[in-house]
Structure 1
């Protein structure tokens, strides 16, 4: 088959693109303003404060983190809603709700093998060693024989009452059956995935949780080093371990912090940022909390000194992952109707030279989540295979990618994307049919481990993410038909590039035996997605300028349709 020279499409791209006016303030303008006003200092300092704490909703560390952010908002001239007047544009509120179950926090812990002088694990060096919702042991600890349980079938063959179960598979199920039902003292488990490089990071432990149950005892997660030591001792004969845990469980309340910058012209329309506070890590997710705070304080300062404005409302949420965002979208139907975009900040401060991976924008569902090929790659987190019915065509994907790549080029900072996978605060937006993206990092060899501390955080990364995210957000909240036309061009260019890439992949696939109809379906799926993504720019249209935007949309769609048709015809030759 003959490949079509890309120059043909470059000429198509340039057809009849007359624009009579540019946006008053472009994304480039916002990027330049923010580069001079956003340093990453406050983001980093906030990250340093919050990462001290093992944060569970309602516990002391979580609440101190929330109050730290609230105090910083106050210092930046945000006014508590209860004290605000109609003229106050910068407001915040602290929402309080009783928790259904007691909160939990760890105080101290260690385990040692009887006959050994050195502890197998100690909380001072492994703060993730105790499963969340584990209870305290007696003050002098508890001692029991350690018995290895391979799987659930093995559990049925051995007596575990009064003993400590050690397992490397299906720990939650084995805990429920072996501890809660069969009377084991507690459980030791090991389950660190390969991407954590456990044979290198031998002392790292991923945090683990027990489902709240009044009958709970305790669970201990082992590092690679501790696992190897315990297995070696078991090969020699019977092993007894002494376990000491000091934890606290107490009634508490759930705190959610919501800050608003009231839109000057369209206050009922909004863009929402969300960063979750719980989880014990520095990058996950003290970094998101810190970055979001600096964005909120910097934009308020710039609006106060009239450097910029926000015509639509900007909202910032700090709370419990997914739960707080989902509640915000569901508890007020009228408010939710005005939310036009949602952006999640989760693991946004990584020093990738240490953690690995790169910064990622997780896209809204597009065909790369159905046919993941070429440059598209799922992360080790993984994603389920989507269908055409799951697609969310919108300009937000390519618009954000375009802006982040600009900041990346200037700052020599790597920016990549991944197909939709879910699992953070962007999912409630998408579930509510609100365009939403996730900003994050992966692969991270310290993900969810007690090695995710401040030394893995980069102030430069915090700055880059914050600048790109906030510049994009400001363009959107101030967007009009002319801004929409700029976005149409960005998405049109992304579409022509994507279709060209998919054509080359499909041509190669057909040569290796893939059915023609399957490859044509891929081209047509991308065509459909981009036609609808282009059309979605009408959500920024100014009533007085809809005609010029509609013309730009039709011209861009015609280019996409023409290119897709030519590619399909080439594949069918």
Structure 2
């Protein structure tokens, strides 16, 4: 978004209403935030958090919660139960009893009987043990491997006290393997985007169903370990010695929520969400660390009188999707006031090492129905949506424009992808709250035990955190100037999109598409932007008639352009 447009220039653009309303001088939040947000705290926090294999309730998860709490308190946030009415910066730790035991790995080894060296050791492959695996006896278990090449192989074979090996998802194997008496499984199913033949030691973490009273375990294999095991199995009967030590124990679920209370509209809020669980550095210790530095930077700038908060800014750390969904659903009045949700997930990557790029995953727009041109899904993939799934809102283009401004400033690549889901932005969207995701993909170390601190870039943390905080400050302090800027930006982006879609439609017609289909696509984008302009009224607290007129004028221009382009398809 272009910063620093003065009210006089806005009056020239919108003609009406300026004489009755004096707009406060716009604030360039980039100028305020950039000198303060260094990425140092984000990186230091990431380094601490990624040391632990984190799942809700376990040691690493809980230590992360209390590290955040200590950092918030040092930054000036007051524990809610001790806060006075005048305290604007507060935090709380929510505690809930877990219905199932938590889990954490201690040690593991896998060795082919007869070989001198172990095939895998947890010291070098900390993802080898399946989440929720039980411990073996301390001396380990020696057992024969049954090699399964398809599910049909399981029909007429005994697995009693044996271990199953297969190159497939455990979801297909688990239930039948347990029913047939197997003691455990060995699996390999690393996807191609992990480049397993290059990253031969990577293991992508896997999980079993929670089994408080069970006795089953699993080991995931690297490409290198899988190849060695297959070579041995081809020679004949193979036994392995497996030693797994894990901890399972009753615990509680912790969520931490920090608020900077709004001065004018405290019941309206922006919510940032970063999940703690998952064992990686980029996924998602970087989200935890970046959000913490954002909260600290916001507190410092507020204390120095450099920024204010008209609406409330909330920071939430917890269990992915579960904590965010609960925050929205458990208090309907609070949920009504959530204006925007932003998820930080995998936000600190050194893309030279990991691959891929920084992405803004958009709210559902027509690119999630017709994905063409520059719009591309990530390797994560996304299902084709329907028109009724669309979520028209100015948030998409506002965030993209703001991040691109930081990208231009820092020579940092910012791209987008159509909606795919799977992180903390989805609970917002499910509740009809505008929400999107900040992340990276493709990452050749995604969910693997090679996702460590050496794959993290402090400069990326700085860029993401700066742009995310600047975006948030503009949103919570949104005023008439901000809304006018969104009208300008939405109209500009709408006309560009319609022109680009028209060109793509002309190409599609040459390749066999129909005029009706191509008109539908252009109409969908027209409708999306017309409704996105309407969404600006949600923060038009002054009921400024000039804004309504400007919105209507922009909508008319978009509709005229759409009709012109559809006619040209004939």
TM-score by length of 1: 0.95
Partner of 1:62: 61
Q: CA contact under 8 A between 2:169 and 2:187: conserved in structure 1?
A: no
User: What is the deviation of 1:26?
Assistant: 4.3
Partner of 1:7: none
Q: Tell me the alpha carbon deviations over residues 468-508 of structure 1, each in whole angstroms, 9 at most, x when there is no partner.
A: 11111101101112211111111111111100000000011
Q: Distance in 2 between matches of 1:493 and 1:63?
A: 47
Partner of 2:111: 112
Look up the SS of the partner of 1:55 in the other structure: coil
Look up the SS of the partner of 1:375 in the other structure: coil
Q: CA contact under 8 A between 1:269 and 1:338: conserved in structure 2?
A: yes
Q: CA contact under 8 A between 1:22 and 1:483: conserved in structure 2?
A: no
Look up the SS of the partner of 2:164 in the other structure: strand
Q: CA contact under 8 A between 2:399 and 2:471: conserved in structure 1?
A: yes
Q: Distance in 1 between matches of 2:62 and 2:566?
A: 57
Q: CA contact under 8 A between 1:378 and 1:418: conserved in structure 2?
A: yes
User: What is the deviation of 1:215?
Assistant: 2.1
- Flag structure 2 segments of 5+ consecutive residues without an equivalent: 1-10
- 372 and 216 in structure 1: CA distance in 2 versus 1, 3 angstrom threshold: farther
Partner of 1:190: 188
User: What is the deviation of 1:87?
Assistant: 0.5
Q: CA contact under 8 A between 1:482 and 1:549: conserved in structure 2?
A: no
- Flag structure 1 segments of 5+ consecutive residues without an equivalent: 1-13
Q: CA contact under 8 A between 1:133 and 1:216: conserved in structure 2?
A: no
Once the two structures are superposed, the pairs formed by residues 96-495 of structure 1 within 5 Å of their partners are: 96-178=95-177, 180-213=178-211, 214-495=213-494
- 115 and 26 in structure 1: CA distance in 2 versus 1, 3 angstrom threshold: farther
Q: Distance in 2 between matches of 1:70 and 1:228?
A: 45
User: What is the deviation of 1:541?
Assistant: 1.0
User: What is the deviation of 1:170?
Assistant: 3.5
Partner of 1:75: 74
- 161 and 364 in structure 1: CA distance in 2 versus 1, 3 angstrom threshold: same
Look up the SS of the partner of 1:566 in the other structure: helix
Q: CA contact under 8 A between 2:26 and 2:481: conserved in structure 1?
A: no
Q: Tell me the alpha carbon deviations over residues 392-443 of structure 1, each in whole angstroms, 9 at most, x when there is no partner.
A: 0000000100000000011010000000000000000000000001000000
Q: Tell me the alpha carbon deviations over residues 255-295 of structure 1, each in whole angstroms, 9 at most, x when there is no partner.
A: 00000000011101000000000000000000000000000
Partner of 2:39: 40
User: What is the deviation of 1:172?
Assistant: 2.2
Look up the SS of the partner of 2:54 in the other structure: coil
Q: Distance in 2 between matches of 1:79 and 1:120?
A: 50
Q: Distance in 2 between matches of 1:211 and 1:519?
A: 46
Partner of 1:10: none
Q: Distance in 2 between matches of 1:163 and 1:296?
A: 51
Q: CA contact under 8 A between 1:25 and 1:475: conserved in structure 2?
A: no
Look up the SS of the partner of 1:495 in the other structure: helix
TM-score by length of 2: 0.96
Q: 2:563 aligns with which of 562, 565, 570?
A: 565
Q: CA contact under 8 A between 1:427 and 1:436: conserved in structure 2?
A: yes
Q: Tell me the alpha carbon deviations over residues 42-94 of structure 1, each in whole angstroms, 9 at most, x when there is no partner.
A: 10100000000000100001000110011000000100000000000000000
Q: Distance in 1 between matches of 2:423 and 2:23?
A: 33
- 288 and 226 in structure 1: CA distance in 2 versus 1, 3 angstrom threshold: same
Q: Distance in 2 between matches of 1:267 and 1:571?
A: 50
